[in-house]
Structure 1
Amino acid sequence: MAETVLERFLADEAATARLGEDLAMALRAGDAIALKGDLGAGKSTLARALIRALADDAGLEVPSPTFTLVQSYETRVPVHHFDLYRLSSPDELDELGLDDALAQGAALIEWPERAGDRLPDNALQVELAEQGAGRSARISGQGATFERAARSLAMRDFLASAGWGEAGRRHFVGDASARSYEIVSLPGQAPRVLMNSPRLVLGPPVRDGKPYAVIAHTAQSVTAFVAIDRALLAAGVSVPAIHAQDLDQGFLLLEHLGSEGFLGSDGQPIAERYEAAAELLAMMHGKAWPDRMEAAPGVFHDVPPFDRDAMLIEADLLVDWYVPWITGKPASDALRAGYHKEWSALLDRLAGSEYTLMLRDFHSPNIIWRADRSGLDRLGIVDVQDALIGPAAYDVASLAMDARVTVSPEIEQRTVAAYVAARRAAGAFDEAGFAEAYAIMAAQRNSKILGIFVRLEKRDGKPYYLKHLPRIRDYLRRALAHPALSGLHDFYVAHGLLEE
């Protein structure tokens, strides 16, 4: 694989420190950064900024490891700072534990030439040299580490184009997708959110020659977020204002709506906040939404339907991932056939349901509580790019059976009741039809989530999602208690799919 090179001019110490921040935002466990340069070239400035950014601590003491040879930091990504100047032989790297460091974190290596050929092939090479009144930085490498670093530098260029080139960057949150978010700050300005949303990588065909993401209508680019965000904002929903956008690269500079969520200090859901969110849904569901929305002049996003194929392929995640995990063997053809028969019958019953703009993941991680506001403006909504035109009941089920929080049956009932009351107050409302659609959508969503959480562990190496499975099974039992779902309930029980 050919090596790729990027060059940057660093006008002063602050620019060198910003490069350290940029590299920190791209760093992952297993990455190695080889930091080259003569004495006084700025290696210490860059290393200190990188480590402080990972620690989110601007005052963190970062001593030079010249005499200890290695200094370790328990940061967001554990980082090990090596100084090989006093290394007498590359073999001494075994004693310093470079391989162990890379197995559980990242390595920042000064004087890497002393390592001989012992550095990983995919190590990111960063060489600093004096250039006029400033410095030059030459960044080279190959593979995923370099690609992430290059994207982070492109994000800095995007910030500069928006007048935020000198902003400090700190990791904010990542999600189960490839998207990530940072908090960016400038003195005298309210912090903003930098959204990094690379174009979705479509997987292999799984059905009818189409990848899963195409069938499930997962957003493929940041254009979907921008279009839906703008439509929601125009309709009076508190979503982030977009201060700058680069649709081609997938970068957005957004309003920071805040960080307070739906849980109390004890980690428990606050019923009044769930009720307020239900009332927001009722307001949204009382509006007419177009299925074509504008992201930029002449650039449109067609909001896909939550059609039968999408519902079924999501529900199939239970059969594909959860069934083998809980039974120890792949699902049989008979089980699959029976599963599809039950689900097809249920989806037929949705034919007369109310359809509207469905945000799809309307739950606590994506709702900000803003206590200083009033009315529905207290609710800030983020992560809207996967919205579809689908059953209104879906988002109510997503909220009231929050996948990340244990919502008691009492708070679930209060949440649903708040929604129903608000819909009734606004005009005619088919409560019985809604209740049935709510149960069907809750069963579909929680079946999907059982599969997703196992997939995140088995395929993606993220085992911490498994702790949520007992909660999701409990939600599924609640949904299956509706009389219209008796057949599906009996099927799940017969195949042991609800057992702990």
Structure 2
Amino acid sequence: MTRAAQAKAFIAQAGWQNATVTPLAGDASNRRYDRLTRANGETSVLMDAPPANNTNVSAFVQIATYLRTLGLSAPRIMHEDSDAGFLLIEDLGDTLFTHQIADNPALEELLYETSVDVLTHLHQNAPPKLGSYASPVTLPLAALAFDWYQLGATGTVDNDAKRHFMSMLEPLLAQYDTDLTVLIQRDYHAENLLWLPERNGVARVGLLDFQDAVLGHRSYDLMSILQDARRDVDPQLETDMKARFVAQNALDPQAFDAAYAVFGLQRNMRILGVFSRLCMRDAKSHYVDFIPRVWGHLMTNLNHPMLEPAAELITASLPEPTCDICATLTSKSGQWAGR
């Protein structure tokens, strides 16, 4: 049976066989999304996550169920076939933060304030049993910047520089391994958040793309949304939202800034590598367009005094993503398929 036939059978089992199917924008993963619309206007969303692509809808169900128990607006699970990799979920609409802010810039501060409040609310509750985003996991992910970005930009990987970088970053990350106590969604940013103004409080933020949630540091998701790879966030807004979060959680500002910078370094190095890989391996060259912004976030984090040695190494080893470097990466789109 073809995947399309499997999807049709699943839709029928869920009682939506007469619905109109409309494709929705996908993400960087191998998942596909379709909106189902009944004649009466009722809608739902089909998530198609083929098991052959190493996707796992069970994790989405687990995290969505947990988030909903906290009063947060994750999609309700309407029908599922985890073995086949299909979910029918609540349709939270199309009003992504990105679109809402573009249409009404005056709402930007409110949206970001509410997204900070969501994290504080989430972190005040005991997390479910999850894997840990500890240094043995995060360190090699940061090194993807050498494996893919440096490779694509220069044609080679400087393995000595890569090893030096990893030996330098390992103790910086490891110092926080005992403080990975909250659920982090890992892709908490404006294109994964929906504005639901008809709801109240923290429920006004619709949550998406959280199936890779792990136990992590409380700075991680805040840094993820404020150092967004896909849209610019005003530096003053970033400063204000960090202060809001620190005050809400009674944190030490200097200690929090240090953690924020370390995890910002780790995340943005990972994204440099992942976006380069998406271009070179998966022929998704539009991700190169985001790399200069990611580089900017990386440089911001490297301004922290604790990261001065890492700053010297990275700026000496990795080229700045100029127009020429980005063009070089784009020219290699799809050339490393199968690697």
Residue 25 of structure 2: SS of its match in structure 1?
Answer: strand
Contact 1:353 1:434 in 2 (8 A): no
> Cα distance, 1:266 vs. partner?
5.9
Alignment partner, residue 457 of structure 1:
279
Q: Read off the aligned partner of 1:440 and give its amino acid letter.
A: V
1:469 lines up with 2:291 in the alignment: yes
Q: Read off the aligned partner of 2:79 and give its amino acid letter.
A: A
Alignment partner, residue 265 of structure 1:
102
CA distance 1:462–1:243, shift in 2 (3 Å)? same
Alignment partner, residue 76 of structure 2:
241
> Cα distance, 1:497 vs. partner?
4.0
CA distance in 1 between partners of 2:9 and 2:188 (Å): 33
Deviation sequence 1:176-204 (CA, Å, 0-9, x none)? 111011110112252111111112536xx
Residue 196 of structure 1 is aligned with which of 37, 48, 54? Answer: 48
Residue 276 of structure 1 is aligned with which of 95, 106, 114? Answer: 114
Alignment partner, residue 107 of structure 1:
none
Q: Read off the aligned partner of 1:151 and give its amino acid letter.
A: R
Identical counterparts, % of pairs: 33
Q: Read off the aligned partner of 2:24 and give its amino acid letter.
A: F
Alignment partner, residue 179 of structure 1:
31
Residue 175 of structure 2: SS of its match in structure 1?
Answer: helix
- Answer with 433-442 or 471-480: which moved more: 433-442
User: Where do residues 43-442 of structure 1 align in structure 2 (5 Å cutoff)?
Assistant: 150-199=2-51, 201=53, 220-263=55-98, 264-265=101-102, 270-291=108-129, 303-326=130-153, 328-424=154-250, 429-442=251-264
Contact 1:353 1:437 in 2 (8 A): no
Structure showing greater relative contact order (alpha-carbon pairs closer than 8 Å, 6 or more residues apart): 2
Deviation sequence 1:372-398 (CA, Å, 0-9, x none)? 222111100011110011111111111
Aligned length: 319
In the alignment, structure 2 segments of 5+ residues that lack a partner are 323-339
CA distance 1:340–1:352, shift in 2 (3 Å)? same
Q: Read off the aligned partner of 1:314 and give its amino acid letter.
A: L
Contact 1:244 1:254 in 2 (8 A): yes
Residue 174 of structure 1: SS of its match in structure 2?
Answer: coil
Contact 2:150 2:318 in 1 (8 A): no
CA distance in 1 between partners of 2:177 and 2:7 (Å): 45
CA distance 1:414–1:363, shift in 2 (3 Å)? same
> Cα distance, 1:271 vs. partner?
2.7
Contact 1:361 1:395 in 2 (8 A): yes
Higher strand share: 1
Contact 2:134 2:174 in 1 (8 A): no
CA distance 1:401–1:190, shift in 2 (3 Å)? same
CA distance 1:200–1:278, shift in 2 (3 Å)? farther
CA distance in 2 between partners of 1:390 and 1:173 (Å): 28
- Answer with 483-492 or 379-388: which moved more: 483-492
Deviation sequence 1:127-172 (CA, Å, 0-9, x none)? xxxxxxxxxxxxxxxxxxxxxxx21221111111111111110001
Residue 331 of structure 1: SS of its match in structure 2?
Answer: coil
> Cα distance, 1:495 vs. partner?
2.2
Residue 486 of structure 1 is aligned with which of 288, 305, 308? Answer: 308
Q: Read off the aligned partner of 1:489 and give its amino acid letter.
A: A
CA distance in 1 between partners of 2:284 and 2:225 (Å): 24
TM-score by length of 2: 0.89
> Cα distance, 1:332 vs. partner?
2.2
CA distance in 2 between partners of 1:387 and 1:496 (Å): 30
In the alignment, structure 1 segments of 5+ residues that lack a partner are 1-5, 7-149, 203-219, 292-302
Contact 2:152 2:280 in 1 (8 A): no
Contact 2:146 2:158 in 1 (8 A): no
> Cα distance, 1:417 vs. partner?
2.0
Q: Read off the aligned partner of 1:243 and give its amino acid letter.
A: M
Deviation sequence 1:426-481 (CA, Å, 0-9, x none)? xxx34333221111111111111111111111111111111111110111111111
Contact 1:195 1:254 in 2 (8 A): yes
Alignment partner, residue 44 of structure 1:
none
CA distance 1:266–1:165, shift in 2 (3 Å)? closer
Alignment partner, residue 325 of structure 2:
none
CA distance in 1 between partners of 2:22 and 2:221 (Å): 31
Q: Read off the aligned partner of 2:165 and give its amino acid letter.
A: Y
Contact 1:196 1:251 in 2 (8 A): yes
Alignment partner, residue 328 of structure 2:
none
CA distance in 1 between partners of 2:102 and 2:233 (Å): 15
Residue 173 of structure 1: SS of its match in structure 2?
Answer: coil
